[in-house]
């Protein structure tokens, strides 16, 4: 592996701040000031116990989980194009809301101007072209008894030359992530630049809030930071993963083979829709808990200190604090409740986009993620950030719960923690170089530490 910064030296760890070595090139080193929790902030609960974090009572949480776990059939509105029958199918390890080994397919191509274009996928023997998306659905509801001769399966055409797989993500604790103030993320990006002379420069991406037309927020969900709001993401997933429309995404991806109305996008007896239940479920989950036994082992503790001293937390930020309860977010549509406000949590991520040399080249597909209406209104304003800058960037993978993920990185192509670390180039090149310069026992200590997360 070629390293861009061959003259790196070991760097000291100051008590409250990280110091980056002058590493071959770039500005002189500076301390990185991690965000400081406010004195009033309390530690957020963490566990895999299927109980609410306090946002709702446990019976409401369990009812919401039942909706998240529900297996949908054609009669429920499944498809016509879909990837799986329930949210749980892809978000389950070790319990509902966790990640899984399921990955999905995304493709696109470059236009004559060299700019990224969303995929055009012909289906129905070429009669219809699905456009405005990068997702390729792996399943379709027909042919079936009602449509024995229909053929609507999506497949990757030879013309879509930019291709990747993307792993399903963890959702446990994501209510905390949603409640982090925008300014916290902006400050973090600025700090990274300052501390590393611009070498590490997380990008914040402004994205539409689907439930608040005309409003944007700083993206923090998805491998590409394509959503700021869990309600927006739930609507997006219900349509694009399962083929089920909602008030947020009222249009089917295709009407071929579609016989049923969509019974899930009407409010239930408590006045809410499925997408509201999924969202409330995710918001009320507890953060992934650490392996306390391993965390207390001498090797993991040594690894923890080395993780800090070589600069991993420049991106894998240990601790973040949410905005105070009562703060309105998502274009004023959600007020942070006491269970999520002013909470300290440990995601080991910055929720910013970086180029660490692994980018899949796929830009955020506006029509797919925000609906066709938003696409028309906001395309011009957002095209610059989302397409020109972020195409080869990936959100720092939050490392909470990483011990429960046997496949790593966005494309699941790294199967060991060491391989995942050694794949980091680009903005992370200097930090990776320092990892390779540690004695083998130091490298192993960092890996033991990761296994405690
Ligand atoms: C076929 C598998 C699959 C199904 C079904 C599925 N998801 Fe996902 N989910 C994914 C993948 C893959 C990602 C990462 C997508 C990306 O960024 O490219 C993801 C990401 C997410 C995220 C972002 C998490 C984060 O921290 O960034 C949320 C929220 C989410 N899904 C919610 C849902 C909900 C709610 C449902 C049910 C309506 C659902 N998903 C159904 C595969 C799935
Ligand atoms: C410049 C920012 C940056 C630095 C510095 C950095 N990482 Fe990462 N890390 C990322 C990004 C971005 C990803 C996701 C890359 C992808 O999926 O293609 C990632 C992914 C990972 C993963 C895979 C996690 C998963 O769930 O798939 C591990 C493990 C990891 N990093 C560990 C480390 C360690 C250990 C260090 C220090 C030696 C480090 N990283 C330094 C940005 C960084």
Q: Is the CB of 230 under 6 A from ligand 1?
A: yes
Please give the C-alpha separations between residue 344 and each of 147, 215, 322, in angstroms, as whole numbers.
53, 27, 7
Structure tokens at 77: 């509105």
Q: What are residue 294's phi and psi, to 5 degrees?
A: -65, -40
Is-contact 281 60, C-beta < 8 A? no
pLDDT tens track for 349-366: 999 999 999 999 999 999
Mutate which of 69, 71, 78, 90 for ligand 1? The one with the most ligand atoms within 8 Å of its CB, which is: 90
Among the bound ligands, name the one nearest to the CA of residue 175: 1
Is-contact 404 167, C-beta < 8 A? no
Q: Residue 38 above 90 pLDDT? A: no
Please state, in angstroms and rounded to a whole number, the distance separating the CA atoms of residues 446 and 302: 8
* pLDDT value, residue 387: 64
Is-contact 279 426, C-beta < 8 A? no
Q: Is the CB of 140 under 6 A from ligand 1?
A: no
Is-contact 215 348, C-beta < 8 A? no
Distance 69 CA to ligand 1 centre (A): 13
Q: Residue 267 above 70 pLDDT? A: yes
What mean pLDDT do residues 392-411 have? Answer: 98
Using pLDDT thresholds of 50, 70 and 90, give the confidence band for residue 246.
very high
Using pLDDT thresholds of 50, 70 and 90, give the confidence band for residue 15.
very low
Q: Residue 21 above 60 pLDDT? A: no
Shortest-distance atom of ligand 2 to CA 393: 12
Shortest-distance atom of ligand 1 to CA 85: 5
Structure tokens at 76: 């429920």
Using pLDDT thresholds of 50, 70 and 90, give the confidence band for residue 374.
low
Please state, in angstroms and rounded to a whole number, the distance separating the CA atoms of residues 251 and 246: 8
Using pLDDT thresholds of 50, 70 and 90, give the confidence band for residue 376.
low
Ligand 2 pocket residues where CB is under 6 Å = 200, 307, 310-312, 314-316, 354, 356, 358, 394, 396-397, 399, 402, 405, 408-410, 417, 420-421, 424, 427-428, 431, 435, 446, 450
Q: Is the CB of 435 under 6 A from ligand 1?
A: no
* pLDDT value, residue 382: 65
Q: List the residue whose alpha carbon is closest to atom 2 of ligand 2.
A: 315
Among the bound ligands, name the one nearest to the CA of residue 188: 2
Using pLDDT thresholds of 50, 70 and 90, give the confidence band for residue 36.
confident
Q: Residue 268 above 80 pLDDT? A: yes
How is the chain split among helix, strand and coil, in percent rounded to 5?
30, 15, 55
Mutate which of 66, 82, 91, 185 for ligand 1? The one with the most ligand atoms within 8 Å of its CB, which is: 91
DSSP β-bridge partners for residue 371: none
* pLDDT value, residue 1: 36
Q: List the residue whose alpha carbon is closest to atom 32 of ligand 2.
A: 421
Is-contact 330 168, C-beta < 8 A? no
User: CA-based angle 121:124:129, to the nearest 5?
Assistant: 30
Q: Residue 194 above 90 pLDDT? A: yes
pLDDT tens track for 233-244: 999 999 999 999
DSSP state of 125: G
Among the bound ligands, name the one nearest to the CA of residue 314: 2
Percent of the chain with pLDDT over 70: 89
- If one compares 351 and 3, the residue with the highest pLDDT of the two is 351
Among the bound ligands, name the one nearest to the CA of residue 167: 1
What mean pLDDT do residues 120-130 have? Answer: 97
Among the bound ligands, name the one nearest to the CA of residue 195: 2
Q: List the residue whose alpha carbon is closest to atom 17 of ligand 1.
A: 222
DSSP β-bridge partners for residue 227: 221
Q: Residue 288 above 50 pLDDT? A: yes
Please state, in angstroms and rounded to a whole number, the distance separating the CA atoms of residues 291 and 404: 10
Distance 398 CA to ligand 2 centre (A): 8
Q: Residue 70 above 80 pLDDT? A: yes
Q: Residue 309 above 80 pLDDT? A: yes
What mean pLDDT do residues 62-73 have? Answer: 97
* pLDDT value, residue 266: 79
Say how many Å lie between the first and final Cα of the chain, rounded: 27
Whether the model pTM is above 0.85: yes
Shortest-distance atom of ligand 1 to CA 398: 26
Distance 169 CA to ligand 1 centre (A): 6
Please state, in angstroms and rounded to a whole number, the distance separating the CA atoms of residues 310 and 330: 36
Q: Give the number of C-alpha atoms closer than 13 A to the C-alpha of residue 273, restricted to the C-beta side.
A: 17
User: CA-based angle 264:267:270, to the nearest 5?
Assistant: 130
Is cis: bond before 336, omega within 30 of 0? no
Among the bound ligands, name the one nearest to the CA of residue 353: 2
Is-contact 150 261, C-beta < 8 A? no
Structure tokens at 57: 């009572």
pLDDT tens track for 132-153: 999 999 999 999 999 999 999 9
Please state, in angstroms and rounded to a whole number, the distance separating the CA atoms of residues 130 and 154: 9
Distance 281 CA to ligand 2 centre (A): 28
Closest to 120 measured CA to CA, from 148, 154, 97: 154
The pLDDT mean for the chain works out to 90
Distance 240 CA to ligand 1 centre (A): 10
Displacement of CA 333 from its chain's centroid (Å)? 21
């Amino acid at each position: 592996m070629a390293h861009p910064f061959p003259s790196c030296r070991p760097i000291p760890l100051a008590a409250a701040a990280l110091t980056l070595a002058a590493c071959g090139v770039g500005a002189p080193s500076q301390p990185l000031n991690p965000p400081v929790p406010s004195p009033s902030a309390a530690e957020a609960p963490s566990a895999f116990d299927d109980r609410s974090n306090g946002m709702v009572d446990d019976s409401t949480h369990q009812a919401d989980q039942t909706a998240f776990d529900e297996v949908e059939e054609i009669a429920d509105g499944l498809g016509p194009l879909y990837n799986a029958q329930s949210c749980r199918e892809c978000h389950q390890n070790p319990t509902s809301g966790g990640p899984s080994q399921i990955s999905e397919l995304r493709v696109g191509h470059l236009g004559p101007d060299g700019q990224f274009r969303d995929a055009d996928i012909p289906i129905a023997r070429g009669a219809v072209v699905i456009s405005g998306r990068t997702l390729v659905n792996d399943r379709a509801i027909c042919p079936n008894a009602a449509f024995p001769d229909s053929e609507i399966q999506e497949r990757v055409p030879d013309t879509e030359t930019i291709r990747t797989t993307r792993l399903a993500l963890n959702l446990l604790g994501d209510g905390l992530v949603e409640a982090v103030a925008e300014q916290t993320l902006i400050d973090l990006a600025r700090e990274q630049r300052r501390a590393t002379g611009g070498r590490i420069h997380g990008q914040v991406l402004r994205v539409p809030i689907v439930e608040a037309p005309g409003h944007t927020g700083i993206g923090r969900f998805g491998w590409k930071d394509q959503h700021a709001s869990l309600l927006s993401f739930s609507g997006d997933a219900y349509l694009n993963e399962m083929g089920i429309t909602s008030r947020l995404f009222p249009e089917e991806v295709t009407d071929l083979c579609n016989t049923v109305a969509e019974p899930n996008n009407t409010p239930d007896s408590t006045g809410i829709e499925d997408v509201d239940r999924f969202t409330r479920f995710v918001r009320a989950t507890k953060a992934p808990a650490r392996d306390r036994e391993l965390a207390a082992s001498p090797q993991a503790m040594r690894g923890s200190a080395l993780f800090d001293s070589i600069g991993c937390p420049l991106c894998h930020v240990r601790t973040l604090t949410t905005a105070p309860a009562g703060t309105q977010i998502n274009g004023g549509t959600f007020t942070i409740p006491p269970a999520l406000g002013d909470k300290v949590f440990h995601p080991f991520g910055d929720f910013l986009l970086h180029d660490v040399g692994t980018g899949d080249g796929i830009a955020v597909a506006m029509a797919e993620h925000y609906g066709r209406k938003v696409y028309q209104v906001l395309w011009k304003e957002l095209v610059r950030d989302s397409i020109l800058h972020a195409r080869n960037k990936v959100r720092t993978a939050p490392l909470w719960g990483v011990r429960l993920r046997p496949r790593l990185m966005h494309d699941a192509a790294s199967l060991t923690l060491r391989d995942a670390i050694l794949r980091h180039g680009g903005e992370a090149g200097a930090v990776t170089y320092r990892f390779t310069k540690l004695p083998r026992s130091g490298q192993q200590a960092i890996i033991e530490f990761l296994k405690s997360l």
